[in-house]
Each structure stands twice: as structure tokens, then as C-alpha cells.
A and B are shown apart, each in its own frame.
Chain A
Amino acid sequence: MTQTTPLESHKFKFKTSMRGVDVIQTVYALLIALGLRDVFAAFYTIFQQAPPDRSDNFLIALALFVNIILLSVRFFWVPRNFRRLYFETTFSEGFSGSKLRTWESSFNIFVILLHGLLHFLLCKQFEYFVFIATTYDLLATASFATYVYLHASLLIVNALWIIYTTWREDDLRKADAPEMLQAKPASRVWIRSNLLFALIALGPLVIFASCSSPLGSCLQAAYPESHWLSALPTSAYSIATLFSWVEPLLGSGHSRDFAIAWWAMAAFVINSLLDLGFTSSYYVLLEDYEEELTYARKV
């Protein structure tokens, strides 16, 4: 039996929400999961090797695995920076749509996917490292160096993007915004930590990669012409000098490449632990925006 209701009694509800960002988050999570699948499959190869043929490479592969898992846990939440930016810019307009320009939204989505791509390449590089380390030990160093460059690139891209989103938040936030929005987000911790630890990890690799001679000679091979910038505390030279002091502690009885690997891994793991230790609540508590308009037809 069909019941007929007069049209006049209907109310129409229109909702505007931020669920579009959820879609981006889902696509991104899928990309991360694709890479992680290869990481787990490669780790299974190491797991099968008991006892391992080459203990140095086995230990480095284990460290890489721990490192990539920690990184993935953090980077599952990359799109939340866009969510927050979108939320803030929407509020600043008095709930009438985001103040972000259209191209800015597209740009942010592109950067999120770029994070996914770099993470995927990093996972593939881990898989390649495990293959090389377990079959042709001689080239493991070169593949490890590529891994560190990729990881550092990901951290630097992330830091630069957060600098941009933070600047836009500050730019578009209203002076009378609620306390929640006025609070300084964890982004400042992420920016500083990512840039600092990427620099620390890269420094010795730039100077010493595949060079087994003293610092001065390796430096001459890496940079034939000296530059005043090398005197800066953040220069590769300064970091490599620091590394050369602690090198005997890191790799006594092993090659320099082994010491470089531990140095880089330590830098990346500390970076992840600092992030997860101090800012993990930001990953769970997400800002959300939902607006409902009710329209009743006049009788």
C-alpha cells in the first residue's frame, strides 16, 4: 500500500562536511599499505635466513625494518595536516566554505600523493636492499645509501609542506578564533625534528659514502673546492667531523659503511620516536566540520 504525503510537509536537509578529505586519506592509506606489503614480504626473506649468512647486512636489514615501520605509523597520518588546514580555513570564513583557493586544494592533494609515492619507493628500496644483502653482499652499501637519501627526501618534503600549511593556517586564522584553533599545533615539532635528523643522517653519507680513507682525503674527493659554507655547524663537513669522532664507537671491528648505517638509522629512529612520543595525540584527535541547512517548503 502506498501512502501519499503532501509535498508541503517535507523538510530538505543539505549537509556540507569534510568527508572529501576522508577519501583522500583512504587513497593515501592504500598507497602506504601497498608499500608495506612489500616490506613485510621482504622481511619474511630475512626471517627465513636463519642463521644469516652475513651478520652485518642482517642487522642493518632488521634496523631498516624497525625504522620503516615506525615511519609508516607516523606517515599514515600525513593527510591530517590538510584536514586541519581545511578546517581552519573553513572556520575563518564563518562556515561558508573554505578560504583555500581551488588550486591550493589540488596542490595539497598532489603533495599528499607525493608523500605516498616517496614512501612506496622507500619500501621498494628496502625490498631491493634485502635482495642485494642476501644475494650479492658487495653492493649492499650503494643500495643502503639510496635508502637513506629517499628517507631523508621524504622527511624534507614533509617538513617543507608543513611549513607551508602552518604559514597558511596563521595567515587565514581569525583573531577571535576559539582556543582550540589558537593552540600551536605539533607541526613545529615535526618541522624541526624532520629537518634536523635528515641533516644528521645525510652528513656522513655525503662525505664518506664508499670512501674508506681519512676525513680530509674523502672530503677532497667529495668537494674538490673548499667553500666558506663548510664552516657552518649544519654543513655536511661539520656533521661528518662529528661522525668521525664517534665512528670508532659505532663500528669497532666493522667497516665504515656499517658505522654510517648505524648512524643514519639511529638518527631516523630517534626522529620517529620523538614524533610518536610527543605528538601522537594529534594523530588521533582530528578536527571536523559539518554544517546542516534545513529547508522547509512554504505552504
Chain B
Amino acid sequence: MPGGRILLAHVFLAGAFGAAILAATAYWRDLACRDAVSIESCRAKTGQSPQEQKKFYIAAALVPPYMNENRTGREADIITAALGMGDRKPVAPERIQFIVEPFSRHWFSYQNDKRFAAVATVPGFLELEGYKSKYYIMYRNGIGSFASSDPIDLAHLRGKRVVTFPGASRVIPELGSLPKDFFALFVEREHQRDHSEMLIRGQVDAVIADAMIFAHYNGMVLGGRGPSPVFTDAFAPTCYVMVFRNAEYRDVFDSGLAKMIETGQLRRIDERYIQSSGLGPDIHYVGDDGAPKCPKQP
């Protein structure tokens, strides 16, 4: 029956045409919201709020236990909670998608890939395209060793063998000002599991790192066997901000973070990770009364 076939062909063509239009509209909406300066301008362009849009991609650095390969961790919890608690239009947790990459690669990806709505773990002085949030996380830099159960400071490390993270000699000003022969060995290694392994094998006398990262890898390497190294909080903390492409998302995050500090939710998240890392209760982070000061807000 040729008439029936022609009708079917028309229906099929109309369907294909409709699907093409829908796809083009969705793509255009995506483009419009990606470059939109504000939530209002996005809604004005597309007729939809960003909440109704697709995933909210965040470039994040792989730094366990702050951010694990499986996109969980202390930073993931803080960011998700802050964006969800923000004023006006919070971002639903199911929309947030962390893309985890090696530290510093995540800045590069954010800068070059416009699909990323935000980037986490950015030092305050680093200039990336977008809007900086308030400090939301701090790394507590100190010295880990088996040397003594008493707290030790930098002077104790004279003539010792030390391993630390790349750039430590410039991130921690006290290290940069030391004479070249202060340490018997000074190595900057990227993979922080190596730090714990080198310390446990006796290749170095001390590790200079963040308390929680150090405790995390010690737990992995030791697996509960033998004594744990002692950590001394010896240096100023390193504080980090988020950078958002859209100023209003930045405001959503900042207002959510302020609420978290006010209600004690931030401390509760911190405490969960402090306990699981085996750190003492005397360690404090952003928003705590006992926390050290971050540099002046950029």
C-alpha cells in the first residue's frame, strides 16, 4: 500500500526533524549557560535555570584523603555541601561531577576546557579565569618523623635527611631561607605515598607534609603494623580557594560555606576525616576558633 508507506516516511522524517531541532536547542542552551555571566542571564537566554541544566563539572586535584580517585573525600564533601546550602539557587548534589586529575593538571584542564564550571584547590595568588571564592580548606604543613615523641621543629632537622612535596621550599617560606647544606638530603617527590615508604624504610629521617595526607599514607603503608610516626604542626598552613566561571555560583558557594561554619557542619566534616586519619583533636581547620590564619584573602 504505497499511501501508507508515504505516510510512514513523512512521520519518520518529521520525527527526525524534530529530534534534530531538540538536539540543536539543547546544544545552544548549553552554550548560552556556559558563557552566561549570571544565573539570570542564563535563564533569560534559555528559559531554564542552571539547576535544570546538565552536570556541574568541577576540576579537582587527586590528593587523598582530600579528594580520592573515586571522587569522594574531605574536599568533595565540603564543596558539595557548600554548593547545596548556598543562598538563592543552590546546586543539587546529583548535578555535581568531580573530574579528578593530578595536582596542578586540574588547573590546566579548567583553564583550557570551558565545560568545567569550577576548579577546586587553587592557591589564593594563582590567577585563573573566573571568580575566586573565600578560603574553604587549609593544609596543615608540619614535620613527621620517628625521631621523638616530643614535638620537633625545623632546627631539629639540621643535618637530617628530609623528603617533601614539590615546591615545598617555596610554599613554606622557612624552608626557602635555609642554607643549601642545612639538610644532609633534601628531596621533593610528587607521590606522597613514597614519603611514608621512605620514612618507614629508613631512607629519610623526616617528612614535611600536610598532617592529614601524611597520616593517610602512613595508614596505607603500615597497615596497622608497628609504631606510627609522630607529626608536629611546625609551619604556616597553605590555604586554598575555589574558582568559578560564573560569579553567582561563587556567591552561592561562599554563602553556603558561611552557613556551614555558622552551623558547625564544616567542623563536623573535618572531624570525620580527622578521626579516620588518626589525627589528634587539637588540629584545626578553616572556620575553627583554634585554626591558624590564612594569608590575606585575594
Which residues from chain B contact A135 at a C-beta distance below 8 Å? 107, 126-128
Whether a CB of chain B sits under 8 angstroms from the CB of A226 is no
Which residues from chain B contact A66 at a C-beta distance below 8 Å? none
B185 and A142 contact, CB distance less than 8 A: no
Whether a CB of chain A sits under 8 angstroms from the CB of B268 is no
Pair count A-B, CB < 8 A: 62
Which residues from chain A contact B201 at a C-beta distance below 8 Å? 224
Which residues from chain A contact B108 at a C-beta distance below 8 Å? 128, 131-132
Whether a CB of chain A sits under 8 angstroms from the CB of B188 is yes
Minimum C-beta distance from B199 to chain A (A): 12
Kindly report which residue of chain A lies nearest to residue B184, judged by CB atoms: A217
User: Cα distance A210–B167 when bound, in Å?
Assistant: 9
Kindly report which residue of chain A lies nearest to residue B104, judged by CB atoms: A139
Contact code string A60-104 (vs B, CB < 8 Å = 1, else 0)? 000000000000000000000000000000000000000000000
Number of interface residues of B (CB under 8 A): 30
A211 and B166 contact, CB distance less than 8 A: no
Which residues from chain A contact B203 at a C-beta distance below 8 Å? 220-221, 224
Whether a CB of chain B sits under 8 angstroms from the CB of A212 is yes
Contact code string B140-184 (vs A, CB < 8 Å = 1, else 0)? 000000000000000000000101001101110000000010011
State which of B128, B161, B170, B189 has its C-beta within 8 Å of the C-beta of A138: B170
Kindly report which residue of chain A lies nearest to residue B171, judged by CB atoms: A138
A141 and B166 contact, CB distance less than 8 A: yes
Whether a CB of chain A sits under 8 angstroms from the CB of B236 is no
Whether a CB of chain A sits under 8 angstroms from the CB of B273 is no
User: Cα distance A135–B167 when bound, in Å?
Assistant: 13
User: Cα distance A72–B169 when bound, in Å?
Assistant: 36
A217 and B170 contact, CB distance less than 8 A: no
A213 and B104 contact, CB distance less than 8 A: no
Kindly report which residue of chain B lies nearest to residue A131, judged by CB atoms: B108
A218 and B187 contact, CB distance less than 8 A: yes
B interface residues, Cβ below 8 angstroms from A: 103-105, 107-108, 111, 123, 126-128, 161, 163, 166-167, 169-171, 180, 183-190, 198, 201, 203-204
10 contacts between A and B (CB under 8 A): A128-B105, A128-B108, A131-B111, A135-B127, A211-B185, A213-B183, A213-B184, A213-B187, A218-B185, A224-B201
